Copies of this chain bind each other. A is one copy, B any other.
Amino acid sequence: MPRKKASQELTRDMIVKEARKQFERKDFHQVSMRSIAQELDCSHGAIYYHFKNKAELFYTIIEEYFISLNKRMEDTVNDPGDKHGKLKNVFLCFIEFGLDHQSQYEIMFMTRNKEVDGLSHEAANLSYQKFAETVQLLSHKRLLIKDIYSAFISLHGFVSHYSGSVSSYKEAIDAAQVHADFILKALD
């Protein structure tokens, strides 16, 4: 029984793809190695040949989301419009990302995982860096890093608070506007 025919061999990509798929509808703890294996018609043990553990597999997925978030923020800068409006859009964009990818956001910014941690933590830092640059770029005055950090934390609070009680960004869009304005005022 061991070892499948070449045509149906398991690849890292197949595993990531299936895991990502389930991760879109269920959170980290709800997606089990066994449920992934089942959908791929393999044993869960096989996955451990391709990935050291569950954390490594999910970090692989999360990486893409970090890239996507960074790209979104960049794009917002390049959009048309005045700086002030774009600054608010960066805030809303962050919130949108968080609420439309709640399971991913949780691992990206909320879980202090002892396992793969170093990597995820670094990527989160990089995303914050990007955020800080973007905010400074769009601000009409020179900002203090501590204030940018507070803005970031306040945005994070919004996502963390609405995660779970709302199923997508659009359900919290009004509250998000209000909160973004609140943060803008503090930066002014």
Contacts and interface: CB of A to CB of B under 8 A. Distances in A.
A1 interface: no
A153 B146 CA distance: 18
A127 to B, nearest CB: 13
A17 interface: no
Interface residues of A, number: 26
A105 to B, nearest CB: 11
A186 interface: yes
A170 B163 CA distance: 28
Contacts of A156: 157, 160-161
Contacts of A112: 163-165
Interface stretch (A6-14, A44-52, A70-78, A176-184): A176-184
Contact of A158 (B146, B157, B182, B183): B157
A4 interface: no
B153 A157 contact: yes
Contacts of A153: 154, 157-158, 161, 179
Interface in A125-157: 146-147, 149-151, 153-157
Interface of A: 109-110, 112, 146-147, 149-151, 153-158, 160-161, 163-165, 175, 178-179, 182-183, 185-186
Given A112-B165, A151-B182, A153-B179, 6 more contacts: A146-B178, A150-B154, A156-B160, A156-B161, A185-B185, A186-B186
